[in-house]
Chain A
Amino acid sequence: MKRANYIFLLLIAGLAAALAVAVSVGSESVSVFSPDEQGRAILLDIRIPRVLLGACVGASLALAGASLQALLRNPLAEPYLLGVSNGAALGTLLAFVLLGDVAGARPVMAFAGAAIATIAVYQMARSKAGMNVERLVLSGVIVTTFLSSVIVLLTSLLDAARLRGYTFWLLGDLSQATYNGFYLTLAAAVAGTILLTSQARALNLMMIGERDAFDHGVEIGRVRIIVFGMASVLVGTSVAASGSVGYVGLIVPHIVRLVVGSDNRLVVPMSAFAGAIFVVLADTVARTAIAPRELPVGAITALIGAPLFIFLLRRS
């Protein structure tokens, strides 16, 4: 157990370092310790909420990925690839088009969209013979493309000036970060870490097989509802705040498993920290790589994630 404790400490230190680097680096050079008035505004109003939101979004998406992979017995399960993120994106867009600025409408609709997409993919992927890797991935592709086309239809109804903003947002973009968005995703990430870690031992058995889990005393239906529900909350709040940042839920749990093995009691909470570090650093690259212009953070995560997906698919 000692080794796991060291890794936890390392992750906490790593997150602190990543946050510090991300706050001090940007297209505008600002002194963190003695900022002038403009610098203070940049730090407090733009950079800090963005960095904090990035950490929470990363934690949320990695938590959702790690727990969905165990539940579905599939190392390739990931909110973005399963269409869950697109469900949340469609929910957010619908809230925007239909409800405008009603407080709380976007995260709630995003959650609903994520939950519906999750259930749809799960039902499509299930068959009498069980659920194999290919069937799940294909179902995810179908749901993703279907939802994408609905999203394109909706965005084409928006006016041209907003269109660029939405294209960015759909790819995953943290530039619209607010403290409110941060508080909400922080609450979801903390609740998700606790709730999903509490199910980790059951997930260890589900990962081997549903019948195995049943035989050993796992209430399968309850675990499924908790994981699907919490993953939908995590993805919903993240997407409402920052669009669909892809592949975080694939890359992060995979790397964590390489280091600590497959025990979800370690993989789930460690993925939260590692996901936070990953997105904070990816967003720092997105902000600075072609400064003063910016890339959407989702483009950076996809650049890393897509090749890894192919590697994992070939290996499975």
Chain B
Amino acid sequence: MLEARNISVRYGPCDVLREVSLSLSAGRMVALLGPNGAGKTTLLKALNGTLPVAEGSVVLDGRPLAELSRREAARRVAVVAQENETKFPVTVLDFVLSGRFAHGGAFGWERAEDIAVAERAVADCDLQNYATRLMNQLSGGERQRVVLARALATEAKILLLDEPTANLDLAHQAMIFRLVRGRCDAEGFAAVVITHDLNLAAEFADELIFLHRGGLFAAGSAEEVLSEANIAEVFGVRVLLDRSPASGSVLVTNVY
């Protein structure tokens, strides 16, 4: 579905991403891990075309991303960015409905179908009681769920999520990962999720990618990537590895 082939991204003279490759196919959930400044958000922006690649190419459904119109790209790839604040009063439902932009024409008013899609997204993100609330009256975590709901409302099958659980409580962190996982399994979605929570990544993702200093450090399953040596090298911390008694997936414990 979405492929990055040896891409490099530069800000001025600095290489912020060097020769990174990534392949995303239907049903797969990839977790992007790494310390602050490793190039995770840059990679996500390059995958979506927000940042131009200096070398290499991003290919979406067999076509170079750069050749697609913004609307075509937006119908296939949805982004949950680290949040934006608006100075204008917008209700939650209107905000989610704005995710339908790429499906409508000029002057486009939402059709019944658009409203149904948006309402499903609102319900999936546990926001039914918030539909008429104003965005600037919500807490950070609530807003983050609304932003995810809008991404789902685009009906794009590829989700790029930049720290979607950063402001969320435990229950909603799990809810978001379960939701994305469920869409991948049941509806053929594919997702790239940036997160700092190694355990959530191990629990839910099919593939984990460690980025370090703008390059790809390791990629593979949780068992392959989450080694004490890798984590010590990338994050500079010592950890203990174990298995989750609940699910059996890799469990990382920080040693303070």
Contact = CB atoms under 8 A, between A and B. Distances in A.
A263 interface: yes
Nearest to A70: B88
A295 B95 CA distance: 44
Given A198-B106, A215-B74, A219-B70, A207 B101 contact: no
Contacts of B98: 201, 204-205, 208, 216
Interface stretch (B78-86, B223-231, B236-244): B78-86
**Which of B70, B71, B72, B91 counts the most A-chain CB atoms under 10 A from its CB?**
B70
B90 A208 contact: yes
Interface residues of A, number: 31
B88 A202 contact: no
Contact of B50 (A133, A215, A262): A215
A315 to B, nearest CB: 10
Contacts, number: 82
B109 A265 contact: yes
**Which of A198, A207, A217 counts the most B-chain CB atoms under 10 A from its CB?**
A217
B88 A257 contact: yes
Nearest to B75: A217
B245 interface: no
Contact of B89 (A201, A209, A261, A265): A261
B73 interface: yes
A181 interface: no
A212 interface: yes
A201 B100 CA distance: 10
A270 to B, nearest CB: 15
Contacts of B69: 217, 219
A178 interface: no
Interface in A192-208: 197-202, 204-205, 207-208
A219 B101 CA distance: 12
Nearest to A75: B87
Interface in A247-272: 257, 261-263, 265
Sorted nearest first, the 4 A-B pairs with minimum C-beta distance are A217-B74, A217-B102, A209-B84, A217-B71
20 contacts: A73-B86, A75-B88, A198-B107, A202-B101, A204-B98, A205-B98, A207-B90, A208-B86, A208-B90, A209-B86, A211-B84, A212-B84, A215-B74, A217-B72, A217-B74, A217-B102, A257-B89, A261-B91, A261-B94, A262-B89
